[in-house]
Structure 1
Amino acid sequence: MNKRNPYRKFQGQQDLIRNLEKTSSRFKRVYDEYALMSEELWNLETTEGEGLPDDFINSIILQTSYLEEEIEDWLSAPVSDQEK
C-alpha cells in the first residue's frame, strides 16, 4: 500500500485529517485534490525543463490556495459541524 506523505501545511493536524477523511467523503475529495495539486505545483516549480506560462502556474497556485482555505475551514470548525 502506498502511504501518502502528510503535507507540511497541515502537519500538526494529521489525526483530525484522518478522522475527517473517514467521516466525510467531501473532505476526503477536497484533501486528496489539494494533496495532488500541491505535489504537482511543487514538481512544476522545482523541476528544470520547459518553461510553463506564468498564467498556468498562477492558476494552479490559486486553485491550491482555495482548497487550502476550505481545508482550514474544516479543521477549525467545531466537531459537531465537521460531519456535514
Structure 2
Amino acid sequence: MSVTSGGGVNVGRQPRSNGFSTGRPGQPDGLHLLDPSELSRYDFVLALIPFVLMLAWVVGQVSSVPQWAAMAVGALTALPLLADGLAVNPPA
C-alpha cells in the first residue's frame, strides 16, 4: 500500500513504465568524426586481426607463396592477438 501525493491510497498499482523504451531512437545530432583519442586497445586489436588476415591473403595472391601457406601464417599471426583480446587482457 502506498500513499499518493494527493493523500489518497494507491493500492496494487504498478507504474506504467519500467524506464525502458521500445520507441525508435531520435535523430543523430550531426556528423561525428572518429576521435582517435577515444579508441581503446581493444579497438586496435579488433582492427588488426582482419588486417593481418587480409595482408596474408594479398601476399598469397601476388607472390609465389601458396595461398594455404600465406593464410596459415596469417592465422598464426592473428592468433596471439585473439588470445590477448579474449583471455590475457579481456575487456571489463
TM-score by length of 1: 0.40
Which structure has greater helix proportion?
1
Which structure has greater strand proportion?
2
Greater relative CO, 1 or 2 (CA 8 Å, sep 6+): 1
